[in-house]
């Protein structure tokens, strides 16, 4: 009975969420792409790195299969994100946007999940990526 009530609560709460329509995606393609890529990156980061903590005692094939299972969900978000973004951005701009999102997801993951120490190297890497953002988007911003 408890499982059924939790499932019912989830279904009820999920139906009250605003729905994303094609009109919203068409109106805000860059925002839609950023949101989907951000969610995709959470799955990607877990697929690439979570096994280092959770499955380090298992043979590598288990980690690979575990990662592939997670990567499926990454691709289910990443492919539509890139298709939506490609309507208004170049491939280079999409790639640099992806790298900004990747670092934004990876740093908290490394700090909180993998318990890595905070290093200035993350700041320097972020500054380099900001430089890449400038060069890839300057024509779109009218700075070229």
pLDDT tens per residue across span 7-22:
444 444 545 545 566 7
Total number of domains constituting the chain: 1
| DSSP state at residue 45 | H
Average pLDDT over residues 84-112: 95
- Tell me, yes or no, whether 13 lies in a domain: no
Judge whether residue 2 has pLDDT over 70: no
Over residues 138-144, the mean pLDDT reads 84
- What is the domain extent for residue 51? 28-137
Compute CA distances 5 → 2, 8, 9, 15, whole Å.
5, 5, 6, 15
User: Sorting pLDDT into bands at 50, 70 and 90, what band is 28?
Assistant: confident
Q: Is residue 19 part of a domain?
A: no
Query: What is the pLDDT at residue 82?
Result: 95
pLDDT band of residue 101 (cuts 50, 70, 90) is very high
The stretch 63-70 carries a mean pLDDT of 94
Residue 17 lies in a domain: no
The model's pTM is 0.78
Q: Tell me whether residue 57 is in a domain.
A: yes
Residue 118 within a domain: yes
Confirm whether 5 is domain-assigned: no
**Distance between CA 32 and CA 85 in Å, rounded?**
8
Q: Are 118 and 111 in contact (CB under 8 A)?
A: yes
State both tokens at 142: 């009218």
* Residue 63 in domain: yes
What pLDDT, in 10s, does the model give residues 35-65? 999 999 999 999 999 999 989 999 999 999 9
Q: Within a domain: residue 117?
A: yes
């Amino acid at each position: 009975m408890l499982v059924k009530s939790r499932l019912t609560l989830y279904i009820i709460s999920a139906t009250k969420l605003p729905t994303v329509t094609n009109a919203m995606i068409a109106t805000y393609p860059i925002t839609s792409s950023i949101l989907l890529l951000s969610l995709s990156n959470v799955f990607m980061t877990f697929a690439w790195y979570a096994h280092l903590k959770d499955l380090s005692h298992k043979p590598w094939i288990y980690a690979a299969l575990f990662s592939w299972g997670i990567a499926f969900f990454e691709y289910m978000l990443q492919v539509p994100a890139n298709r939506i973004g490609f309507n208004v951005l170049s491939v280079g701009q999409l790639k640099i946007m992806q790298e900004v999102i990747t670092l934004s997801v990876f740093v908290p993951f490394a700090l909180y999940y993998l318990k890595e120490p905070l290093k200035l190297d993350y700041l320097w890497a972020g500054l380099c990526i900001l430089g890449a953002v400038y060069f890839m988007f300057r024509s779109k911003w009218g700075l070229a």
